[in-house]
């Protein structure tokens, strides 16, 4: 690059991507060496997932479609780094020449419900229309309330909220972290309890991606959040071991408290039946061995073929409510 002190950042063309990138840059600039010697320039990149914004993600290639073009820009030296919502990054690394070099501190893992009526999830009336694009959330809703209608909802956070307010839905479920980063806290009706809505792996986490062995890993080392890194690598390792895709109804949540690592895992079938639920505890330094053991436990309990089948929802995503018995 003509200016060696300019760092080009590739991100999705969305308000949320811009917001979390600004959070990252503000954190980086707390390091005087970087603030005095480096300048960031943001380049927004339209990804395949953004272009096909009305289609089911599992039918067009999964959540990895939100980073494919950004990764190509990094590999072609069009940008230096990419910043991703790690929930959208497949657990199986596609590009071996790229790596996550920095983990931004994760704050919120929960899902949140926004409803037009102001009623929480369990108080929504039978037949209410609930919007989501997540196969995991779809399965969790069906596990708890088959008397609700489920309707596919795609688009950025503000687009989804606008569709709700226009009456296309009675309520929608979004990531709490995304809502918070956009300062839309006043829209939240209810923060959903992890007991009922255990999150997807890496939900709420942001990672910085660059070429293998680039100078940026060392440059950003002081702001890398080790707690977030270990928790998220643990969650991703489990998905990788069992062969679950971004579209599988699988929830994995790792949490470090002092020296202890706790990992909760749940798997559902597409009809909402919970087919696996376990909690594991070990010391945090044993996270690699622990996640290997968890992966084996899941495979032994559920079966590799059954997990593979969870990667595809053959039914229509939209679900028509059944009456409460």
pLDDT digits (tens, 9 = 90+) for 19-35: 999 999 999 999 999 99
Domain assignment present for residue 150? The answer is yes
Neighbours of 171 (CB within 10 A): 23
Q: What is the mean pLDDT of residues 82-107?
A: 91
Partners of residue 84 on adjacent β-strands: 207
Among the listed residues 189, 181, 173, the one whose alpha carbon sits nearest the alpha carbon of residue 135? 173
Assigned domain for 321 exists: no
Between residues 68 and 70, which one has the greater pLDDT? 70
Cα separation, 236 vs 70, whole angstroms = 20
- For residues 250 and 160, state if they share a domain: no
Asked if the model's pLDDT at residue 50 lies above 70, the reply is: no
Say yes or no: 135 and 24 in one domain: no
Stated as kind and residue range, the H or E segment containing 11 is: strand 6-12
pLDDT reported for residue 52: 54
Judge if 276 and 301 occupy the same domain: yes
Q: 195: Cβ–Cβ under 8 A, 6 or more apart, which residues?
A: none
CATH, residue 259 = 3.30.160.40
Tokens describing residue 321:
């409510």
Are 23 and 83 in a shared domain?
Answer: yes
Whole-structure pTM value: 0.92
Q: Please report whether residue 229 resides in a domain.
A: no
Reported as type and span, the H/E element at residue 102 is strand 98-104
Tell me if 209 is assigned to some domain.
Answer: yes
100 and 115 both lie in a single domain: no
Alpha helices in the chain, H assignment, sequence order? 15-28, 32-37, 48-51, 57-60, 68-75, 135-144, 157-165, 176-181, 216-219, 226-242, 287-302, 304-310
In a domain, 219, yes or no: yes
pLDDT at 206 over 50: yes
The DSSP letter of residue 121 is G
145 and 219 both lie in a single domain: no
Q: How far apart are the first and last CA of the chain?
A: 66
Name the band, by pLDDT with cuts 50, 70 and 90, for residue 2: very low
Query: How confident is the model at residue 127, as a pLDDT?
Result: 97
Residues 219 and 154 in one domain: no
Residue 25 lies in a domain: yes
In this structure, the answer to whether residues 95 and 212 fall within a common structural domain is: yes
Q: What secondary structure does DSSP assign to 22-50, as a single string?
A: HHHHHHHTTSHHHHHH-EEEEEEE--HHH
- C-alpha separations of 197 from 74, 92, 274, 316 in Å: 35, 24, 12, 22
Is residue 173 one of the residues assigned to a domain?
A: yes
153 with 96, same domain? Answer: no
The Cα 278–Cα 298 span in angstroms is: 9
Domain that holds residue 252: 234-310
Active site residues: 88
- On whether residue 179 sits in a domain, the answer given is yes
Q: What is the pLDDT of residues 227-279, one digit of tens each?
A: 999 999 999 999 999 999 767 999 999 999 999 999 999 999 999 999 999 99
Rounded to a whole number of angstroms, the CA Rg of the chain reads: 20
25 and 87 in a single domain? The answer is yes
CATH code of residue 170: 3.40.190.10
- Quote the pLDDT of residue 1: 35
Task: Verify that 16 and 81 share a domain, yes or no.
Answer: yes
- Same domain for 100 and 10? yes
Count of domains observed in the chain:
3
Reading the block at residue 232, the tokens are: 């998220």
């Amino acid at each position: 690059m003509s200016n060696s002190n300019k760092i080009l950042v590739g991100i999705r063309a969305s308000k949320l991507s811009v917001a979390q990138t600004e959070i990252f840059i503000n954190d980086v600039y707390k390091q005087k060496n970087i603030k005095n010697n480096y300048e960031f320039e943001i380049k927004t990149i339209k990804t395949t997932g953004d272009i096909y914004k009305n289609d089911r993600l599992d039918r067009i290639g999964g959540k990895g479609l939100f980073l494919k073009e950004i990764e190509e820009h990094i590999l072609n030296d069009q940008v230096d780094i990419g910043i991703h919502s790690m929930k959208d990054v497949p657990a199986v690394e596609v590009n071996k020449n790229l790596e996550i070099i920095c983990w931004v501190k994760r704050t919120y893992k929960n899902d949140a419900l926004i409803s037009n009526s102001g009623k929480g999830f369990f108080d929504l009336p039978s037949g209410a229309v609930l919007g989501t694009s997540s196969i995991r959330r779809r399965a969790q809703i069906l596990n708890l309330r088959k008397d609700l209608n489920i309707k596919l909802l795609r688009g950025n956070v503000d687009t989804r909220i606008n569709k709700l307010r226009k009456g296309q839905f009675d309520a929608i479920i979004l990531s709490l972290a995304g809502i918070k980063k956009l300062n839309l806290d006043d829209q939240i009706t209810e923060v959903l309890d992890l007991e009922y809505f255990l999150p997807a792996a890496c939900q709420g986490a942001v990672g910085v991606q660059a070429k293998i062995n680039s100078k940026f890993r060392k440059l950003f080392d002081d702001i890398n959040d080790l707690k977030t890194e270990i928790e998220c690598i643990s969650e991703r390792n489990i998905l990788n071991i069992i062969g679950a895709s971004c579209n599988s109804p699988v929830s994995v949540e790792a949490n470090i408290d002092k020296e202890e690592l706790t990992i909760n895992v749940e798997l559902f079938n597409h009809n909402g039946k919970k087919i696996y639920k376990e909690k594991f505890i070990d010391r945090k330094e044993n996270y690699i061995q622990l996640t290997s053991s968890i992966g084996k436990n899941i495979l032994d309990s559920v079966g590799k073929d059954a997990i593979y089948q969870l990667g595809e929802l053959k039914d229509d995503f939209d679900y028509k409510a059944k009456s409460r018995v």
